[in-house]
Amino acid sequence: MLDHVDVGPRPLSAYTHIIGEEGVEKIRELAAPLRGARIAHINATTYGGGVSELLRSIVPLYRGLGIQADWKLISARPEFFNVTKAFHNALQGAPYKLTRAARETYQAYNTRNAQLLDEEYDFIIVHDPQPAGIRHFRGPNGARWIWRCHIDTSEPNEAVLEFILPFVAEYDALVFTMDAFVPPGLEHQRVVTMTPAIDPLSPKNVGLSEGICQEIRAWRGIDPRRPLVTQVSRFDPWKDPLGVIEVYRMVREEVPGLQLALLSSMASDDPEVWEMYSEIVAETRGDDDIHVLTNLIGVGDMEVCAFQTSSDVVIQKSIREGFGLVVSETMWKGTPVVANRSGGIPLQMENDVGGFLVDDTEECAERVLFLLNNREEARKRGLAGRERVRQRFLITRLLADELQLLANLAPAVGIPAPSASGTTVTAASLLVSQE
């Protein structure tokens, strides 16, 4: 049996003060035909990435709506995650030579995990490349299968793409974050685009007072009297943490006493994280104003929330980015963001709402300096960013998107489709009430 992640139900009514009673009722109407349906979400890890953040929030919401949702984890040895991390990088455009050994490792572990999936479901949603082969090796078995790709596959390594495509072609629906991420050459009867979202009630996003934020910062060695810039991300070359350090050093020439915090969660399915961590430690050695903070020393959701809330500017300098939930997390807290114009980030910060989009290190430093020197402009951009997240990137909108997709697939598993007069929930119809 696949490992089961224990989560309880969460009532949708908890979000009434954010999306309003009408928004709650629309989602309940959309979920009604699916009540009692069995759904499995399958991914590779419970922490350290955006997928686990999403599942930890959305699976309880399914359960609160009367849908039997489970969160399942694949199991594998490090050799498998070495291969899938290489696949991840290659699908985002990194050079890679696909070997017979890598193909065999991928197939062997997906075969094994397909055998471990011994429960019956109406819908199975598989996240990212690691478990994508499970559908092939298990067979449909009466379920409808959805593959959700969270990474930027707009310029993939051709050999890896050709290897993965036959597996994902067998799914009943494919979901990408944006149209540009749909791989070239992919032909499928149902391709859907769906942006991720943040949970405003999760421990990472719940409001913290200024006093608590300052206490947490001080506990981690941050001087509250001096300005602070932060990046929250995996220690991954695609997130360019070394570039963030370069930006910090450029800005510090104009802002003496500037502090930098690099926060990361070391994910269990990412073998490269330790190499990047070592590079960061070596690069920052001797500078007491750079703080490298991870879950290994007890940094968790509350610390991330405090730093995103109370930093003067948050940077997201991703070279490639599927979406970058940390951008919406930060904007929700009213903090201005300076982010690379990559992947799904411009969807969140269209027309520089919430901060500034930049194209290189020099421009990043210039914009960070501008925000540090123009606090009222920084405040206005932060508030505008919060409102954009409120209207477009909250978990309730993602829940509605997923329910619509499941409803479209429902007749194939014996669940009646919603009537023609049934509720259709769109982003526009989930405009939320003011708190």
> How confident is the prediction along the chain (435 residues), in pLDDT tens digits per residue?
999 999 999 999 999 999 999 999 999 999 999 999 999 999 999 887 789 999 999 999 999 999 999 999 999 999 999 999 999 999 999 999 999 999 999 999 999 999 999 999 999 999 999 999 999 999 998 999 999 999 999 999 999 999 999 999 999 999 999 999 999 889 899 999 999 999 999 999 998 999 999 999 999 999 999 999 999 999 999 999 999 999 999 999 999 999 999 999 877 667 788 899 999 999 999 999 999 999 888 899 999 999 999 999 999 999 999 999 999 999 999 999 999 999 999 999 999 999 999 999 999 999 999 999 999 999 999 999 999 999 999 999 999 999 999 999 988 666 765 544 344 444 445 544 434
CATH code of residue 381:
3.40.50.2000
Q: Do 224 and 358 belong to one domain?
A: yes
Closest CA to 340 of 238, 236, 263: 238
Structure tokens at 372: 């540090």
Q: Do 74 and 187 belong to one domain?
A: yes
Answer whether residue 205 is part of any domain: no
Which residues span the domain enclosing 293?
210-392
Closest CA to 19 of 285, 187, 200, 195: 200
Answer whether residue 202 is part of any domain: no
Q: Do 271 and 419 belong to one domain?
A: no
Domain count, the chain: 2
Q: Do 268 and 293 belong to one domain?
A: yes
CB 281 within 8 A of CB 266: no
Phi, psi of 296 (to 5 degrees): -65, -20
Q: Do 11 and 31 belong to one domain?
A: yes
- What's the pLDDT at 418? 52
Q: Do 264 and 184 belong to one domain?
A: no
Structure tokens at 22: 């009408």
Q: Do 286 and 409 belong to one domain?
A: no
The residues, ordered by sequence, that sit 6+ positions from 282 with a Cβ below 8 Å of its Cβ are: none
- What's the pLDDT at 427? 45
CA distance linking residue 260 with residue 243, whole number of Å: 12
The residues, ordered by sequence, that sit 6+ positions from 429 with a Cβ below 8 Å of its Cβ are: 23, 26
Structure tokens at 400: 């509605």
Three state DSSP letters for the chain: CCEECCCCCCCHHHHHHHHHHHHHHHHHHHHHHHCCCEEEEEECCCCCCHHHHHHHHHHHHHHHCCCEEEEEECCCCHHHHHHHHHHHHHHCCCCCCCCHHHHHHHHHHHHHHHHHCCCCCCEEEEECCCCCCHHHHHCCCCCEEEEECCCCCCCCCHHHHHHHHHHHCCCCEEEECCHHHCCCCCCCCCEEECCCCECCCCCCCCCCCHHHHHHHHHHCCCCCCCCEEEEECCCCHHHCHHHHHHHHHHHHCCCCCCEEEEEECCCCCCCCHHHHHHHHHHHHCCCCCEEEEEHHHCCCHHHHHHHHHHCCEEEECCCCCCCCHHHHHHHHCCCCEEEECCCCHHHHCHHHCCEEEECCHHHHHHHHHHHHHCHHHHHHHHHHHHHHHHHHCEHHHHHHHHHHHHHHHHHHHCCCCCCCCCCCCCCHHHCCCCC
Q: Do 276 and 368 belong to one domain?
A: yes
Half-sphere exposure of 288 (CA within 13 A, CB side): 4
Q: Do 30 and 155 belong to one domain?
A: yes
Answer whether residue 435 is part of any domain: no
Answer whether residue 204 is part of any domain: no
Q: What pTM did the predictor assign?
A: 0.91
Answer whether residue 203 is part of any domain: no
Q: Do 187 and 96 belong to one domain?
A: yes
- What's the pLDDT at 435? 40
Q: Do 35 and 81 belong to one domain?
A: yes
Q: Do 232 and 347 belong to one domain?
A: yes
Residue with tokens 């979901």: 175
- What's the pLDDT at 184? 83
